[in-house]
Amino acid sequence: MSMEDMKSVLVNFNMQTGLSSKWDSIRRNLSAMGGMFADEAKHAEMVEQDDVLVYEFYDSGRPERPGEVAFGTSITYPGKVGDEYFMTKGHFHTILETAEVYYCLRGHGYMLMENPEGDWEAQELKPGLAVYVPERYAHRSINVSDSEPLITFYAFRGDAGHDYGTIETKGFRKLIVEREGKPEIIDNPKWAGEME
Ligand code: MN
């Protein structure tokens, strides 16, 4: 069998950076995170000063079929907007009844999750810990370290799809902020609730 005929995939992810030299990452700078952080004035000020990279991740490009598995790494950099830690936008899956697994390779953070019924959960991420995100739960990675990237490897059903719009519009019910040097889960003062 020639290399061109191969259907299997071999890809590298660096254990220190989370990055692959074989694929191009999708990058989200602060300016791409408008409205996601509670302190919008602080966010605008930071974008003006230095539009830093907040997180990046990979799209494995698998066909969107139920038998496929999409996978890659996600890297969230250390930083805060005011007292709110850097995080990913977070999303529901378009097919709500699809779960996902994240395995933490490096750093310290949380996976924040909530479902449309109003249940929420937060799991701490440290190297060696895997979190299973159940079906119906939106999920967001949050980096609570002040020095290290939060690196996870994820895998989910190939046709699950991403719904970013619901979170962009409504936010999460909870935020993770720094209080006296430690992460604390608080109610999101701006949570939009039922939009109907
Ligand atoms: Mn997902």
Q: What is the pLDDT of residue 196?
A: 46
DSSP letters spanning the chain? --GGG---------TTT---SSSPPEEEEGGGGTTTSS-HHHHHHHHHH---EEEEE------S-TT-EEEEEEEE-S-EETTEEPB---BEESSSS--EEEEEEES-EEEEEE-TTS-EEEEEE-TT-EEEE-TT-EEEEEE--SSS-EEEEEEEETT--EE-HHHHHH--SEEEEEETTEEEEEE-TT------
pLDDT at residue number 1: 61
Between the CA of 158 and the centroid of ligand 1 the distance, in Å, is 10
User: What distance in angstroms lies between residue 21's CA and the mean position of ligand 1's atoms?
Assistant: 23
State whether CATH 2.60.120.10 applies to domain 26-187: yes
What distance in angstroms lies between residue 47's CA and the mean position of ligand 1's atoms? 26
128 alpha carbon – ligand 1 mean position (Å): 20
Mean pLDDT over each residue of the chain, to the nearest integer: 96
Q: How many A from CA of 177 to the centre of ligand 1?
A: 22
Q: How far is the CA of 100 from the centre of ligand 1 (A)?
A: 6
Alpha-carbon torsion 181, 191, 150, 81, what sign? negative
Ligand 1 midpoint to CA 49 (Å): 31
How many angstroms does the Cα of residue 4 sit away from the middle of ligand 1?
A: 30
Distance 142 CA to ligand 1 centre (A): 14
Per residue in 76-123, pLDDT (tens digit) is 999 999 999 999 999 999 999 999 999 999 999 999 999 999 999 999
How much distance in Å is there from the Cα of 2 to the middle of ligand 1? 34
Map tokens 């907007």 to a residue. 81
pLDDT band at 5 (very low <50, low <70, confident <90, very high): confident
- Long-range pairs, 185-191, Cβ under 8 A, ≥24: 185/112, 185/122, 188/38, 189/38, 190/38
Joined together, the tokens standing for residue 7 give 């259907």
